[in-house]
Structure 1
Amino acid sequence: MVALLSLSQTDRLKPVKAGFATWHIGALSALLLLSSCGSSSQKTTQRVPEPSVAAVVNRLSPDQQQKYDYFFLEATRQKSKGSFDVAFELYQHCLDIDPNAASSLSEISQYYFYLKQPEKGLACMEKAVQNAPDNYWYHQTLASLYQQQGNTQKAIEAFERMSNQFPERQDPLMALIDLYNQTKDYPKVIQTLDRFEKINGKNEQISMEKFRIYLLMDDHKKAFNEIESLANEYPNDMRYLCVLGDVYLNNGKPKEAYATYQKVLSIEPGNPQVQVSLAGYYEQTGQTKLYEQQIDSVLLNKKVDNEIKVDIMRQMIVNSQQGGKDSTRIIPLFQRMMEGEQEDTQIPMLYVQYLLAKGMEKESVPVLKQIIELTPENVPARLQLLSYSIKKNDYEEAIKICEPALEVTPEAIEFYFYLGLSYYQAERVDDALAVFKKGLTHVTSTSDKKMVSDFYSMMGDIYHTKEQNNMAFAAYDSALVYNPENNGALNNYAYFLSVEKTNLDKAEEMSYRTIKAEPNNDTFLDTYAWILFIKGKYSEAKIYIEDAMKKGGDKSDVVTEHCGDILYMAGSKDEALKYWIKASEMGSKSKTLKKKIEQKKYIAE
């Protein structure tokens, strides 16, 4: 602990900033973690040394030591505040007091690297290691600097010294393995792996790495001996025997591989790992029928991890597509796998993806339902199931899908929207409005703005059916705030304004935007024509209503009646009567249509 200073002492020891401005270090905030000096390819873990006053020999008088302690701690405080220019000056002042102080040398080294003076930075770090030889973190930082600068030989020497001086540390050995691999010094890699193995014991990762290195050295005997010794080290663990068999198989020794697999089966007949390995053996040796039988056995084996099964099925799908084969083998396999109880959704989800890719949407429905039973919170699966119901216009089914979703995934606003839409289609208008309002309470800054706009647009439609026009227009305004290009909201807003014969200029401007965006939309063309009609622009209205009729409006009794109204006011009275009669035959519920036909003239509602 640093001794407390008297008031007179602290006054006397206040740092002075004179002369430091020439360094221009103001942007040092990105620096000053020792890990920034390490190599990105190195596996060792960087760590900032604890602030301390380290020295091999105490060369300072008590008064000097007290000054050093004060300035060092003040520098550390300034650094933590982000005042890096002040901290740099204080570390320099520390070195004026004690040029050999490893703590300040280590700290100021970082500044020199930031100032693009790597020679000074490296010299300071080397001196810090020299003066504090027992500090592991100084050694590690120096070794990392050598590695970062591409001085591989010095980095190797530094990590070798660390591995000898700090034998309980594994990081230096891991760094050496990487460095010797980079320099292709394979005997040294083996030597270092042996040292690592003495600390950690024999394991699969080390043995496989030694196997790889021995192969690079063209020493196949030692390579296979390494894996064999691993299997012998753990005779009761069949996993290592399977690894040995796989190594034989993948390196041109199929007979030895098969014998090893049979040995596993003689000890553990139901071992799932060897079942998978045997499938690979049959495939590699061209025994197609046995391979298919073995794959079936693996896929139906409950002991085999689903991740392995999914990988196998994905590869089979790829092979099937590349070979131009149909799904006669893939789908029955999926069906048989689905017969058993599923532990997770990996296989069902892959099955659904395959069915959808094949255009078999209907067949995917029972699988999707099974997925939702397993994981009710599975939003993608529920949305996929919902999309099928919406496409069929089965809104009752959509309601059944959406209602539980609000309980298990209340943050997913999509389900509020589609539930509200389904209620609306089922003429449950009040329920729809309530759901839309509830959904809006879950909107956040990250919510899809277009969907939020659609919420308000639907609410506008509902308010209008309830003859609450002010509420409807406010909802449309909100919809256009979230998405100014919401053409549905623009069209309905414009049309209802025209019906109310209010704000017609605004209505015309909004409607025009929709036909510019979708010039072939008969509904939008009809709205624009009708607004022009209400404004008395009959010739223009005639152009757009005729276009609407050509684009599909002739299938709508409303558009057809509008066509008659506009033609009448544009002077084509006989043609208007024909369209009124046609609209009546189409089942129009217009209050004035019958009078128009009887009196053969336009009558406003």
Structure 2
Amino acid sequence: MTNKQLNNISKRSNKVSVAAVLILGSCFLTLNSYAQNKNKIVVVAGKPMTSTDSATVRQLFFSGLREKAIENNTLAFEYFDRVVQIDPQNDASLYELAIIKKAKNNYPDAQEFLEKAVTVNPDNEWYWAALADCYEKSNSFDKLENVFNELIRINPDKIDYYYDKANALYYLNKYDEALQVYKKIEELTGPTDDLLANRQKIYLKQNKVDLAAQQLEQMITADPSQIKYYLFLSQLYSSNNQPDKALKTLLAGEKIKSNSGLVHLALADIYRDKKDIEHSYNELTLAFAIPDLEIEQKIKIIGGYLPRLTDPNVKASALELSRILTVAHPTDARGYAIYGDMLLQNEKPKDAKQMYQKSVALNSQVYDVQEQLVRLDLGENDIAGAIKDGESSLSLFPNQAWMNYLVGVAWMQKKDYKKAVDYLKNASSLELQDKDLLSQCFSALGDCYHDLKDMKSSDEAYDKALTYNADNAFTLNNFAYYLSLRGEQLDKAAKMSKRSTELQPGNASFEDTYAWILFRQKDYAGAKTWIEKALTDDKDKSATKLEHYGDILFYLGKADDAVENWKKAKDKGDVSPVLERKINEKKYIE
């Protein structure tokens, strides 16, 4: 630090005299080796501090505290550093320097400052505690034992220091010494669960399973109503490949407290390990029925079933456990949501919908449940329900792209295409990454614009949909069909329609579209092949397909067969005036 810098410091404080600055400058010259040695502390022996030195030190120290308070640690460090240059044994400044270094994760330097501080003032608890933290952060466990000895000397009533010392000994593999510390703790506090757990850890490290078990058995004898000790002991046996002893312990605990969910869960684990699936499942049902057992733990267990739901037995078990969950926790929305999921997995959509409705009624803040509910509404063709549930959800989650899409589809099904367009456009503007959603949005927009007679916007939307998914079979089919109705871009329509039949072979509607496009291209033989495929795959033999078949047969010179199929179309419910004319005039009419 130059004299110019010192002058700047004096200007900031406004209280350091020029004489004091000159004195500080001369002190600095005598200690420049300290500053050049990376903060290594050098004790300066010699003349005692003058009253001016003391005043300067005091002023610099409080200036350092002020800068530290406003988080200007760089300047604070300068002030505390100047104090130590004047008074190398100023332990408070050494401590503050260490704290600043610790804040920058510079533990080696902080450690040096603190080692000096505790040398100067060995009875300051904060210094030793900070030094212990430095040693722990730098993995200097061999130095920790002495530090905790000093902390215990200073504050013998603080039990944490004994535990810290025992932990340090544990990391140094000094297990017997650590056990002696735990013995001392027990003299001070009496037996506790923490002591028990820590002793168990050491006994197991020493491979003294019997000794660990013996201690737990003594705890059970002393207080047989404490179920946790049975659980600890059973876990000890299970972890050391003694399942029979573990089972015996848990059964004893169950006799003491039959409504312990944790005991039933532990028994389920033991039986599962023994391949006794029936008993394991029975214990799970008992555990799930106990309200005191946290629902989070039960949900986690059901989650473990999900990868194995292809097994019918597993699926049925998960379904029943989910049902029990709602009985044990009737006011928790999560239980109904999980039960709804399992009902869907078991192909019971109506029941699943009821569960999702209950879940939403209890907690409307879970978006995923609401989306599932609206999907089920649409799946049941409950258009009014989809609109009601969807718009209610959007009032809470307006920026959910999928919900905007689903509500748009609902309005489209209701044939309110203008409202549908609004929601679908919202969905496409809210999502930029999900190509599947974007493809479906623009495809639906193409359908809406077609029904609104805006053919330009319809074609643009379909083209946009195909940029996100060139193999969206429904988009390919619809776009192709509408082009064929207008008699426009028939080659493009034929390619798209043919591709849709490749993507979904056996789809009668797609085959009918392709047949109709070939008809418009005057490829009557090809059209006949594909319309016959469509009629074969359509079990109901729809009126539209029968009429198309008649049209194609007429141009193949089979007028009587054509009239016969037109009549079949009429019998199926087609009452269009054009069809009536075809039948009466026995010829194709555009």
**TM-score higher than 0.5:** yes
Q: Which amino acid aligns with 1:188?
A: N
Q: Which amino acid aligns with 1:542?
A: A
Query: Matched residues in 1 for 2:101 and 2:539: separation?
Result: 90
Which of the numbers 484, 501, 507 marks the counterpart of 2:458?
A: 507
1:155 has 2:114 as partner: yes
What residue number does 2:84 align with?
126
Using CA pairs below 8 Å that are at least 6 residues apart, which structure has the higher relative contact order? 1
Asked if structure 2 preserves the Cα contact closer than 8 Å seen for 1:106 and 1:124, the reply is no
129 and 144 in structure 1: CA distance in 2 versus 1, 3 angstrom threshold: farther
Q: CA deviation at 1:538?
A: 1.9
1:470 has 2:418 as partner: yes
Q: CA deviation at 1:488?
A: 1.8
297 and 545 in structure 1: CA distance in 2 versus 1, 3 angstrom threshold: farther
Q: Kindly report which structure 2 residues correspond to 1:496-575, keeping only aligned pairs within 5 A, or say none.
A: 496-504=448-456, 506-533=457-484, 534=486, 536-552=488-504, 554-556=506-508, 558-575=509-526
Q: Which amino acid aligns with 1:155?
A: L
What residue number does 2:35 align with?
none
Q: Secondary structure at the match of 1:586?
A: coil
What residue number does 1:11 align with?
none
266 and 389 in structure 1: CA distance in 2 versus 1, 3 angstrom threshold: closer
1:482 has 2:437 as partner: no
Asked if structure 2 preserves the Cα contact closer than 8 Å seen for 1:299 and 1:337, the reply is no
Which of the numbers 262, 265, 279 marks the counterpart of 2:220?
A: 265
403 and 440 in structure 1: CA distance in 2 versus 1, 3 angstrom threshold: same
Q: CA deviation at 1:161?
A: 4.6
What residue number does 1:401 align with?
355
Asked if structure 1 preserves the Cα contact closer than 8 Å seen for 2:480 and 2:493, the reply is yes
Q: Which amino acid aligns with 1:467?
A: K
Q: Deviations over 1:434-463 (max 9, x none)?
A: 22222111125xx5xxxx333333333333
Q: Kindly report which structure 2 residues correspond to 1:295-314, keeping only aligned pairs within 5 A, or say none.
A: none
Query: Matched residues in 1 for 2:290 and 2:67: separation?
Result: 66
350 and 514 in structure 1: CA distance in 2 versus 1, 3 angstrom threshold: same
Query: Matched residues in 2 for 1:436 and 1:251: separation?
Result: 62
What residue number does 1:420 align with?
374
521 and 107 in structure 1: CA distance in 2 versus 1, 3 angstrom threshold: same
Q: Secondary structure at the match of 2:108?
A: coil
What residue number does 1:173 align with?
128
TM-score normalized by structure 2?
A: 0.68
What residue number does 2:288 align with?
338
Q: Which amino acid aligns with 1:537?
A: Q
186 and 384 in structure 1: CA distance in 2 versus 1, 3 angstrom threshold: closer
Q: Kindly report which structure 2 residues correspond to 1:142-541, keeping only aligned pairs within 5 A, or say none.
A: 142-145=97-100, 148=106, 150-151=108-109, 152-159=111-118, 161=120, 164=123, 170-179=125-134, 182=140, 184-195=142-153, 197-200=155-158, 203=159, 205-214=160-169, 222-235=177-190, 240=195, 244=199, 247-283=202-238, 287-294=242-249, 331-338=281-288, 340-359=290-309, 360-374=314-328, 382-390=336-344, 394-443=348-397, 452-483=400-431, 485=435, 486-504=438-456, 506-533=457-484, 534=486, 536-541=488-493
Query: Matched residues in 2 for 1:602 and 1:549: separation?
Result: 27
Q: Deviations over 1:282-335 (max 9, x none)?
A: 45765442134335656897599978987x699979x96xx9x79677545434
Unaligned runs of 5+ in 2: 21-52, 552-564, 567-581
Asked if structure 2 preserves the Cα contact closer than 8 Å seen for 1:160 and 1:176, the reply is no
Query: Matched residues in 2 for 1:511 and 1:499: separation?
Result: 14
Q: Which amino acid aligns with 1:511?
A: Y
Asked if structure 2 preserves the Cα contact closer than 8 Å seen for 1:100 and 1:128, the reply is no
111 and 127 in structure 1: CA distance in 2 versus 1, 3 angstrom threshold: farther
Q: CA deviation at 1:225?
A: 2.7
390 and 530 in structure 1: CA distance in 2 versus 1, 3 angstrom threshold: farther
Asked if structure 2 preserves the Cα contact closer than 8 Å seen for 1:522 and 1:553, the reply is no
Asked if structure 2 preserves the Cα contact closer than 8 Å seen for 1:402 and 1:419, the reply is yes
Query: Matched residues in 2 for 1:603 and 1:313: separation?
Result: 78
Q: CA deviation at 1:391?
A: 5.2
392 and 184 in structure 1: CA distance in 2 versus 1, 3 angstrom threshold: closer
Asked if structure 2 preserves the Cα contact closer than 8 Å seen for 1:249 and 1:281, the reply is no
Query: Matched residues in 1 for 2:151 and 2:56: separation?
Result: 42
Q: Which amino acid aligns with 2:476?
A: L
172 and 378 in structure 1: CA distance in 2 versus 1, 3 angstrom threshold: farther
Q: CA deviation at 1:523?
A: 1.5
**Equivalent pairs: percent with the same residue?**
11
Q: Which amino acid aligns with 2:216?
A: Y
Q: Which amino acid aligns with 2:513?
A: H
Q: Deviations over 1:506-560 (max 9, x none)?
A: 323332343454444432221231243235222332222222223226423x333
510 and 351 in structure 1: CA distance in 2 versus 1, 3 angstrom threshold: same
Q: Secondary structure at the match of 2:224?
A: coil
Q: Deviations over 1:369-396 (max 9, x none)?
A: 3334555676665544434444566442
Query: Matched residues in 1 for 2:72 and 2:297: separation?
Result: 56
Asked if structure 2 preserves the Cα contact closer than 8 Å seen for 1:298 and 1:309, the reply is no
Q: CA deviation at 1:146?
A: 6.1
434 and 114 in structure 1: CA distance in 2 versus 1, 3 angstrom threshold: same
Query: Matched residues in 1 for 2:353 and 2:193: separation?
Result: 52
Asked if structure 2 preserves the Cα contact closer than 8 Å seen for 1:377 and 1:409, the reply is no
Unaligned runs of 5+ in 1: 1-18, 24-50, 61-94
Q: Which amino acid aligns with 2:430?
A: Y
Asked if structure 1 preserves the Cα contact closer than 8 Å seen for 2:64 and 2:80, the reply is no
CA RMSD of aligned residues (A): 4.7
Query: Matched residues in 1 for 2:180 and 2:320: separation?
Result: 52
- 407-416 vs 178-187, which moves further: 178-187
Counting matched residue pairs gives 495
303 and 224 in structure 1: CA distance in 2 versus 1, 3 angstrom threshold: farther
Asked if structure 1 preserves the Cα contact closer than 8 Å seen for 2:114 and 2:127, the reply is no
Query: Matched residues in 2 for 1:314 and 1:482: separation?
Result: 47
Asked if structure 2 preserves the Cα contact closer than 8 Å seen for 1:122 and 1:145, the reply is no
Q: Secondary structure at the match of 1:184?
A: helix
Query: Matched residues in 1 for 2:302 and 2:388: separation?
Result: 34
